[in-house]
């Protein structure tokens, strides 16, 4: 059974600092996603990673994928308050399946403080 584990589950950061969120998954998959969720809001897609060694960057966030280690990381550079949210990683349940058919991690609640 495919399991997705994120750590840490809670992260309190100071503005300007760097940190990394880790996402491990238990069996092979052909796709991995990172989502952001603000309180009371829906999920916003951040990154789609489809191949080993894939790296994508958007602003202060950078995601990478190591399919051999079954590990993805979300790196935060020089955090700002606007990045405060819950971040989820999600893995495709079946090869070649729909992007929406996913197993999600429990999420990492990020709080960036001045």
Contact between 43 and another protein per CB under 8 A: yes
Contact between 11 and another protein per CB under 8 A: no
Would you say how long the chain is, in residues? 114
> What track of x and - describes contact with another protein for positions 12 through 41 (by CB under 8 A)?
------------------xx---------x
Sequence-distant (≥ 6) Cβ neighbours of residue 42 within 8 angstroms: none
Contact between 107 and another protein per CB under 8 A: yes
31 three-class SS? coil
Sequence-distant (≥ 6) Cβ neighbours of residue 86 within 8 angstroms: 36, 37, 38, 107, 108, 109, 110
Specify the residue, 47 or 61, whose C-beta has the smaller distance to another protein.
47
Q: How far is the CB of 35 from another protein (least distance, A)?
A: 8
Contact between 50 and another protein per CB under 8 A: yes
Using CB under 8 A as the criterion, which residues of the chain lie in contact with another protein when the complex forms?
4, 30-31, 41-45, 48, 50, 88, 90, 92-93, 96-107
């Amino acid at each position: 059974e495919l399991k997705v584990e994120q750590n840490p589950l809670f992260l309190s950061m100071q503005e300007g600092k760097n940190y990394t969120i880790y996402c491990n998954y238990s069996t092979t998959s052909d796709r991995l996603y990172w989502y952001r969720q603000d309180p009371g809001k829906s999920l916003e897609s951040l990154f789609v990673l489809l191949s080993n060694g894939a790296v994508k960057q958007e602003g202060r966030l950078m995601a990478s994928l190591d399919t051999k280690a079954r590990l993805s990381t979300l790196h935060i550079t020089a955090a700002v308050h606007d990045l405060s949210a819950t971040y989820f990683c999600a893995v495709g349940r079946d090869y070649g399946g729909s992007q929406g058919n996913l197993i999600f991690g429990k999420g990492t609640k990020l709080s960036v403080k001045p």
